[in-house]
Chain A
Amino acid sequence: DAGITQSPRHKVTETGTPVTLRCHQTENHRYMYWYRQDPGHGLRLIHYSYGVKDTDKGEVSDGYSVSRSKTEDFLLTLESATSSQTSVYFCAISGRGTSGDAAGEQYFGPGTRLTVT
């Protein structure tokens, strides 16, 4: 299994507070991703990174920002949490895949369950 951890694993916070979730990998993979998973919606991409300091927006990026200052860490920040951001957040990583393409299959971290009250 890919070495990927997320912290915290669970968090309860109040509306309007800032929240930062951390994803850490030991695989030296170039690509990192943040998804949220909600009932009825499946996994949706928030932001992704294709290298240190190189990031881009995904499908549901409003209200979220990211930073990647080193290969192993990818941070997701909710500047002012809202109840609609209550969700399970998954980080994923990918490197050169089995087919040889640069960003192959993705491996997921254990997830962070965030509740905004």
Chain B
Amino acid sequence: GQNIDQPTEMTATEGAIVQINCTYQTSGFNGLFWYQQHAGEAPTFLSYNVLDGLEEKGRFSSFLSRSKGYSYLLLKELQMKDSASYLCAVKISGYALNFGKGTSLLVTP
């Protein structure tokens, strides 16, 4: 089967930096996606990595190492509105995504 692991919960302080890790063991790999989901809302697309390295988008960055089956999402200058679940997903074949169970991030004052 496909295995995508993330920590269940994390807590960080407003203004700080937090790193959310994702490890995967899958039968194929065509890219890794990060989504943000606020409680009661739909997931929203944050980032996409298909090659090794770091992709930066404002306060958010995502890193991928295909040889290690590892990715992380880095959130800088944390704000209260960043409290949400962060979902790691791997595209194994051409179309569909396999999601991890998500990491619930709580940002405290």
Contacts and interface: CB of A to CB of B under 8 A. Distances in A.
A50 B93 CA distance: 13
B99 A99 contact: no
B18 to A, nearest CB: 20
B4 to A, nearest CB: 8
Is the interface on chain A under 10, 10 to 19, 20 to 34, or 35 or more residues?
Answer: 20 to 34
Nearest to B45: A105
A41 B85 CA distance: 13
Nearest to A35: B99
A31 interface: yes
A98 B95 contact: no
B94 A102 contact: yes
Interface in A50-103: 50, 58-59, 90, 94, 97-99, 101-103
Interface in B41-87: 41-45, 48, 50, 87
Contact of A42 (B30, B33, B45, B100): B100
21 contacts: A31-B95, A33-B96, A42-B99, A42-B100, A45-B98, A48-B95, A50-B95, A59-B98, A90-B42, A94-B95, A98-B48, A99-B48, A99-B50, A103-B91, A103-B94, A103-B95, A105-B45, A106-B97, A108-B42, A110-B41, A110-B42
Given A31-B95, A50-B95, A108-B42, 5 more contacts: A42-B101, A43-B87, A104-B48, A105-B33, A111-B41
